[in-house]
Structure 1
Amino acid sequence: MATGSHPSVLIAGAGPSGLILALTLLKSGVPVRLINKEPVHRIGSRGAGVQARTLELYDILGVLPEILKAADKTHARRRMYALPGGTEVVEQVPVAEWVEPTPGTPHPNAVAISQEVHEDILRGYLADLGGAVELGTELRSFEQFPDHVVAQLVKTGADGTESTESARFEYLVGTDGVHSVVRKQLGLTFLGETREEQHLLVGDIIVEEGLDRGLWHYWIPESQLMVFRPGTKEANGLRFAFAGVPEHWKHATPTREEFVEEFYKVTGRRDVKFGAAPWISVFRPSMRMVDKFSVGRVFVAGDAAHCHSPTGGQGLNSSVQDAANLGWKLALAATGRAPAALLDSYSVERLPVIAEMLRLTTALHDKMFDALADGGGDESTWVRGGAFAMLGVNARGSPIVLADESAGAAGGAYAAVESGRVQAGYRAPDAPGLGGAAARLFELFGPASHTALVFGGDARARQEAATALGRWPRGTVRAVRVLPAGYAAEESGWEFEVVKDREGHAYAAYAGGAKEEMRVVIVRPDGMVGAVVSAAEGIERYGKLIFG
């Protein structure tokens, strides 16, 4: 897959992180080649939870409409059953607290969508940009040079014959899963542990009758857990997870018939009738991450860089956010508009986020297995939401983030802004009710350029800001003047698009309500605030951090 004469970036692995990276680069005008060693696309629900922050990234990237159209957006409720018998309902409560949308956070609640459907939708958006996944093509090895990477590829035809190819690229990104060839050949340390004794069985199965497909169903016999939940491709299907599997299943994946019989044995629910099981898999939870995300011109993202317990629904989302962080930086470096040193910030920004993600998911995993040992645990064992919505994931303290003096003290890598006012290094909130160039701020943001929002200021200050932004490389910034409601803009002739904050949400969030003092908020292509400054000098300082 490529646009232009020659692909600049090879992406090995076409899961969500590879697809999002390819979309980001193509939208930025960077030709890519996206390969996948499997001859067919994967099936199964797998990582079905899409968290609030990922929905915002999808909104900015322009792929959210079809995701929401296909997703289960109902407020999930958990039903616990008493044992023995398995039919008496002990409790039925929300899986996560429902969060009302606000002007700044229009997508606060996670949705469920089969990963199979999810990836198919992303491939559709990719096709709209002239892209496609090259199936049956495996990266076997690569060699780095000062200004390029040479990859050795093997393509397997429909008849099983193999053909080899040596191809040159400017950059290589491994999104090739937990057994990543790229990570191993880079010699990256995969720090952490594998829980050899804790096997989990997961899969999808058709439920013909007996279980409400709009609920999460829990049975907790001694030292075991059986869960069924929505999120499959099939309308009459449910995803399942089974902890505390029989010993012999730890070495051989059970058949559909064996699993169904074990379900009846564990739950006592022979009233439940099952159909086909599209996929079943047994795995041992591993909690691991790389010591760095890149070496030279080669990078890793997603499962190639980290793996962890599925509790908390962070895996797919962290992978997508890796790609969003790397994508805009790689686009600038590949097009010569920023120095290669900018790419060092990818590892710097993602390492603390992934370390915190592993801490949170491992703690939740341990709490779940402890609960199985003592008969079910308390409510906090099973409730999700909060930090797991990922709205607090940030890049605070990054060497390419420029904060003003009023910013509060830095929190953890998952800690949201406490002041209620936009701060550098954190997510940029939305603001609806605009007039002019856009109806809301998320329409102004995009993966191919920064967005500079200019609030207040006198004519001279705004002109100086426009001049400073004009020194940035062509096409790297969208300059927007935000006017308060009731304000008539004089003709300036400067390179500003204009929006009017008719409902006051933008000024309240971004300027603290002040309408006179100039405040410039520079939003990165990944929806993070890169800089909060009050004068042209700050714009120039941030520009040097990014463009050298």
Structure 2
Amino acid sequence: MDQLPILIVGAGPSGLVLALILLKCGVPVRIVDKETTHRLGSRGAAIQPRTLELYKILGVLPDILKAGEPLPSSMAKYEHGKTDPSMFVKVHEILEPTPDIPYPNTYNVSQAKQEEVLRSHLLRFSCTVELGSELRSLEQFPDHVVAHIEKTDTEGNIVEETASFAWLVGTDGAHSVVRKQVGVEYVGETRAQYIAIGDVVVEQGLDSKFWHMWDQSPKSIIFRPSGGKDSSFMFLYTGRSEELADKTITREEFVNRFYEITGRQDIKFGAATWLSNYRPNIRMVKQMQVGRVLLAGDAAHCHSPTGGQGLNSGVHDAMNLGWKLALVHQGRASPTLLATYEEERLRVIAHMLEFTTQLHDSSLHRLYDGKQITHESWKRNGDIQMLGVNYSGSSIILQDAEAVADILTPYSRPVGTGSVGVQAAYRAPDASGLVSVEEQQITLFSVFGVVAHTVLIFGSEASCKADATELVARLPTGVARAVRILPQGESAAGSSSCDLILEDGAGHAYRGYGVSTDNLTAVVVRPDGVVGAVVSDVDGVERYFGNFCRV
């Protein structure tokens, strides 16, 4: 049964990322989606700094960056009929890159374009999304899952298929069929607030370098550039609930209401490519695995779009699940490893829902209730960047008792580390200026990968050569690769045998990781870019992998 593929139901970003990870790991995959065409729309356009880092580790970041542009940092607010802004609201501060945080600012790429990039990378593995394929039901068995799929071909004919899979993952959105099939409750609330959203081309009158807002209580309109080159903006319109409750707003209705609210006849509109009604849903599951069925993305959690965490959290789900599912499927890890997916992610998701609900109440909820928006209402730096997302307290992460006893929120970086230092359960920082044996300059993020753990071995050749050699010899084959980081000024040529040997040419790795040149320090970086352990001996590394790995 181990040769059976894994079925992914739902071809949004979380499903596509998961499929790409599994394929890179050599695991066969099928990915199906009930839609007959790929979705349009710029929802989920804000890619947070941590997600940019994960896209870098996944190997898709250059194409993602080409597809969008930096998210504008300011919102222009207008009075009725005025063409000049009455004030500018700061949405977020523009931060400068550092050696350990190379992508500090939110990037603007529509969800549709992100999905297009991810599908192009799947094609390199001869994998395509099977459109028009809807999961109707499933049955679980001890060693496989049987899925009943209904396919609609290009001529509208329906074909039924029954197939077996080793595992099934539901990434099929907030109305997930997979979640309902396995009987997982979606706990939370739906707010009685009707908001119209959509994408519309603005042919004349709005600068794409800014957000734009008109607030004529009880009606308000916000425009956000969609991150493309086609002058498209995503709009958000809050008005009376009774006028939006029963139907999706049309382009013509929106344009008429825009002119009424703004008094701006100088702004000209083109086509509306996507229109929808929205009600804030704040919900999550209490479990993300039932037997051989797992849930990720909106199928496991949904919330207000305020703060741009939803799509990002789905990508984080997939990064956490992907390497674990690959190891279990290949028999390199115990199936109990999958229990840590739920253990690690549910804590983060619960905090994320609380966090985004607070943001919603301080911004969109204020608009809906006709209250004034302040600079503080729209502040979007800090935890929103997701650089502090951590798995402190996880059963498979080696942390000292003091660190576990003083667990911070799942979105916070440890006090005192900030941009300096490394700690188990938190993101592994980047470091630029590393020099290879071939004298090529690279960064740590270009070394990390989704297929295997990366064990960074710090310490000078003279002080810890024997320990480093023993450590490399004991690493589990195919599960981990060793990367030796030699101190600045110590040539990588002729050094001890590792998968990769680098000199810390600019000194950023030793400073950023807070390690010494005099003693061996091993930093175990998981395939999802999280530090699994920081240890000073071979036994420590073996303890980490012994938590889940079959060697």
TM-score range (shorter-chain normalised) is over 0.9
Structure 1 residue aligned with 2:396: 400
Structure 1 residue aligned with 2:100: 104
The CA deviation at 1:368 is: 1.9
Deviations 1:418-477 (A, max 9, x none): 232100000001001011166111111000000000111677955445444544442111
2:539 aligns to what SS in structure 1? helix
Q: Quickly say closer, same or farther: Cα 1:520–1:157, change in 2 above 3 A.
A: same
1:45 aligns to what SS in structure 2? coil
Structure 1 residue identity aligned to 2:20: L
Q: Is the 8 A contact 2:73 2:93 kept in 1?
A: no
Structure 1 residue aligned with 2:410: 413
Q: Quickly say closer, same or farther: Cα 1:407–1:485, change in 2 above 3 A.
A: farther
Matched, 1:63 2:65: no
Structure 1 residue aligned with 2:443: 440
Q: Quickly say closer, same or farther: Cα 1:370–1:182, change in 2 above 3 A.
A: closer
Distance in 1 separating the partners of 2:539 and 2:465 = 12
Matched, 1:228 2:223: yes
Q: Is the 8 A contact 1:149 1:170 kept in 2?
A: yes
Distance in 2 separating the partners of 1:134 and 1:490 = 49
The CA deviation at 1:72 is: 1.4
Structure 2 residue aligned with 1:423: 423
Q: Quickly say closer, same or farther: Cα 1:494–1:210, change in 2 above 3 A.
A: closer
Structure 1 residue aligned with 2:174: 178
2:141 to 134, 139, 145: 145
Distance in 2 separating the partners of 1:340 and 1:230 = 44
**TM-score, normalising length: structure 1:** 0.95
2:70 aligns to what SS in structure 1? coil
Matched, 1:278 2:280: no
Q: Is the 8 A contact 1:458 1:516 kept in 2?
A: no
Distance in 2 separating the partners of 1:271 and 1:246 = 28
The CA deviation at 1:35 is: 0.7
Deviations 1:290-317 (A, max 9, x none): 0011111110000000010000000110
Matched ranges for 1:102-501 at <5 A: 102-195=98-191, 197-231=192-226, 233=228, 235-245=230-240, 247-372=242-367, 373=369, 375-404=371-400, 409-420=406-417, 421-436=421-436, 439-456=442-459, 462-488=465-491, 491=494, 494-501=497-504
Q: Quickly say closer, same or farther: Cα 1:244–1:258, change in 2 above 3 A.
A: same
Structure 2 residue aligned with 1:18: 15
2:163 aligns to what SS in structure 1? strand
Structure 2 residue aligned with 1:28: 25
2:481 aligns to what SS in structure 1? strand
Distance in 1 separating the partners of 2:512 and 2:242 = 55
Structure 1 residue aligned with 2:508: 505
Q: Is the 8 A contact 1:75 1:98 kept in 2?
A: no
1:184 aligns to what SS in structure 2? helix
Distance in 1 separating the partners of 2:68 and 2:490 = 41
1:481 aligns to what SS in structure 2? strand
Identity of matched residues, %:
50
Q: Is the 8 A contact 2:110 2:227 kept in 1?
A: yes
Q: Is the 8 A contact 2:306 2:364 kept in 1?
A: no
2:442 aligns to what SS in structure 1? coil
The CA deviation at 1:140 is: 0.9
1:141 aligns to what SS in structure 2? strand
1:534 to 533, 536, 545: 536
Matched, 1:47 2:44: yes
Q: Quickly say closer, same or farther: Cα 1:363–1:238, change in 2 above 3 A.
A: same
Gaps of 5+ in 1: none
Matched, 1:521 2:523: yes
Deviations 1:261-319 (A, max 9, x none): 01111111122111111111002110000001111111000000001000000011000
Structure 1 residues 459-468 or 283-292, which shifts more?
459-468
Q: Quickly say closer, same or farther: Cα 1:45–1:81, change in 2 above 3 A.
A: same
1:92 aligns to what SS in structure 2? strand
Runs of 4+ aligned residues of structure 1 deviating over 3 Å after TM superposition are 404-409, 457-473, 488-496
**TM-score, normalising length: structure 2:** 0.94
Distance in 1 separating the partners of 2:255 and 2:42 = 18
Structure 1 residues 333-342 or 123-132, which shifts more?
123-132
2:259 aligns to what SS in structure 1? helix
Aligned length: 542
Structure 1 residues 524-533 or 88-97, which shifts more?
88-97
Structure 1 residue aligned with 2:547: 545
